[in-house]
Amino acid sequence: MSSLVLPVPFQVSFEFFPPKSAEMEETLWKSITRLAPLAPRFVSVTYGAGGSTRERTHQTVHRILKETALVPAAHLTCVAATSDEIDTVAEDYWTVGVRHIVALRGDLPADGRAHPVPGGYAYGADLVEGLRKRRDFEVSVAAYPEVHPEAKSADADLDNLKRKIDAGATRAITQFFFDNHVFLRFVERARRAGITVPIVPGIMPVTNFTQMVKFAKSTGASIPRDFARMFDGLEADPETRKLVAATVAAEQCQELARAGVTEFHFYTLNRADLTYALCHVLGLRPGSRQASVGSPESGSGVAS
């Protein structure tokens, strides 16, 4: 069996979500502390649906800046807020030292409120443009290898991504996927459309297969039959499930690396163990030179 260690230098980033309770906050910070020695390029902190965790996101980002050496990327959505309110948040981030924003339209309000609100940013591209006009943020945006659930077509979805890039976004991070061919075909189409920024694959190590199926259904991500079979009968066996999940995710990353990918974004679900183990298997260790972490000159995503 060939080694799973990636043959080329690579970079990683980790995604967390803001805690809803003191217990969840303790879990989050244990995870951040565990993963920090891997020196990720950045760590991102999400918003909840409709901006519902806005204050907790701000608090988490501020704490990362204050208590760690990590580089935070703050998620910012434009639903349920005016452009002035969003601009104020962005200015506050800039003031405290945040230089990277993950700009998203965000999920539409579940209570049926209209979007955009009067004076608000309508789409992700509008938000990107507004951010870039105010400050020289690094701006990442979302991409959907299997098409956004609200998009009229794959072409329309790709056109929307192109608008976000043309507005000033510097990186696209994809929704999680489990079929590498889907991702690589998407990258090929994006390059033909003139999108040249790094397209970074979002990797979801499967901590809970049943929960992941629900996530996949809501986002439109497909689950290959062979992938699903790997988790058959493991509902009540979390230890074996973790071993299988780490192996499957490591093989996915190795295959992507052979196709030219040099950067991976891991959705941690605020749990460090599986992500840490995966990075270790791939060759990333504390102080390791395997990853050209944090160097803006090093390659990332998929080359154009």
Which CATH number characterizes residue 271's domain? 3.20.20.220
Residue 197 within any structural domain of the chain? yes
Catalytic residue among 15, 129, 146, 263: 15
- Is residue 4 included in any domain, yes or no? no
Identify how many contiguous H helices and E strands the chain contains and give both numbers: 10, 8
Determine whether 297 is an active site residue. Answer: no
Cα 136 to chain center, whole Å?
21
> Once rounded to an integer, what is the mean pLDDT over residues 175-204?
97
Name the residue range of residue 274's domain: 11-282
pLDDT digits (tens, 9 = 90+) for 108-159: 666 656 567 788 898 999 999 999 999 999 999 999 999 998 889 999 999 9
Return the pLDDT at 48.
Answer: 62
Burial class (CB in 10 A: 0-12, 13-18, 19+), 218: exposed
Decide if 50 is inside a domain.
yes
Residue 154 lies in a domain: yes
Spatial separation of the C-alpha atoms in residues 4 and 250, rounded to whole Å: 7
Nearest-angstrom CA–CA distance, 280 and 274: 10
Q: Per the structure, how many domains does the chain have?
A: 1
> Residue 302 — very low, low, confident or very high, per pLDDT cuts 50/70/90?
low
CB 122 within 8 A of CB 164: no
pLDDT at residue 190 is higher than 60: yes
Q: Domain for residue 251, yes or no?
A: yes
- Residue 18 in any domain: the answer is yes
Task: Give a yes or no: residue 198 inside a domain.
Answer: yes
Q: How far apart are CA 49 and CA 102, in angstroms?
A: 15
- The answer to whether position 245 is within a domain reads yes
What the block records as the tokens of 72 is 């935070």
